Amino acid sequence: MTTKAYAAQSATTPLAPATITRREPLPTDVQIEILYCGVCHSDLHQARDEWNQFVPTQYPCVPGHEIVGRVTRVGDKVGKFKAGDFAAVGCMVDSCRACPNCAQGLEQYCHQFPTFTYNSADKHSGSHTLGGYSEQIVVDESFAVKVSDKANLAATAPLLCAGITTYSPLRHWKVGPGKKVGIVGLGGLGHMGVKFANAMGAHVVLFTTSPGKVADGKRLGAHEVVVSTDEAAMAAHRGSFDFILDCVSAQHDLNSYLGLLKLDGTHCLVGAPEKPMPVAAFSLLMPRKNLAGSGIGGIAETQEMLDFCARHGISSDIELIPIQKVNEAYDRLLKGDVRYRFVIDMASLKTGN
Dump pLDDT digits (tens) for 120-133: 999 998 999 999 99
Domain membership of residue 301 (yes or no) is no
pLDDT (mean) for 226-250: 96
| 273 and 339 co-located in one domain | no
Which structural domain, as residue segments, surrounds residue 15?
2-161+316-351
Task: From residue 272, give the alpha-carbon distance in Å to each of 247, 261, 308.
Answer: 8, 21, 26
Domain membership of residue 304 (yes or no) is no
Measured between its terminal Cα atoms, the distance across the chain in Å is: 24
| 91 and 81 co-located in one domain | yes
| 278 and 215 co-located in one domain | yes
| 61 and 171 co-located in one domain | no
Q: What are 118-127's contacts with CB under 8 Å, separation 24+?
A: 118/46, 118/61, 118/62, 118/63, 118/64, 118/65, 119/46, 119/55, 119/57, 119/58, 119/61, 120/93, 123/94, 124/23, 124/26, 125/21, 125/23, 127/58
Q: What is the overall mean pLDDT for the chain?
A: 96
Which domain CATH number covers 22? 3.90.180.10
Whether pLDDT at 76 is above 70: yes
pTM exceeding the 0.85 threshold for the entire prediction: yes
DSSP string, 251-279: ---HHHHHTTEEEEEEEEE-S--SS----
What are the tens digits of pLDDT across the range 286-342?
999 999 999 999 999 999 999 999 999 999 999 999 999 999 999 999 888 999 999
| 133 and 12 co-located in one domain | yes
Q: What percent of the chain has pLDDT over 90?
A: 93
The number of distinct structural domains making up the chain is 2
What are the tens digits of pLDDT across the range 264-284?
999 999 998 878 899 999 999
| 287 and 324 co-located in one domain | no
Q: How confident is the model at residue 68 (pLDDT cuts 50, 70, 90)?
A: very high
pLDDT (mean) for 79-104: 97
Domain membership of residue 307 (yes or no) is no
Domain membership of residue 305 (yes or no) is no
pLDDT for the residue numbered 241: 98
| 169 and 253 co-located in one domain | yes
Whether pLDDT at 109 is above 70: yes
pLDDT for the residue numbered 31: 98
Which domain CATH number covers 286? 3.40.50.720
Domain membership of residue 190 (yes or no) is yes
Q: How confident is the model at residue 228 (pLDDT cuts 50, 70, 90)?
A: very high
pLDDT for the residue numbered 353: 65
| 49 and 131 co-located in one domain | yes
The last residue of one of the domains, among 261, 293, 325, is 293
Calculate ∠ Cα 116-30-112, nearest 5°. Answer: 30
Dihedral angle over CA of 108, 85, 167, 338, nearest 10 = 100
DSSP state of 130: -
Q: How confident is the model at residue 351 (pLDDT cuts 50, 70, 90)?
A: confident
| 233 and 189 co-located in one domain | yes
Domain membership of residue 308 (yes or no) is no
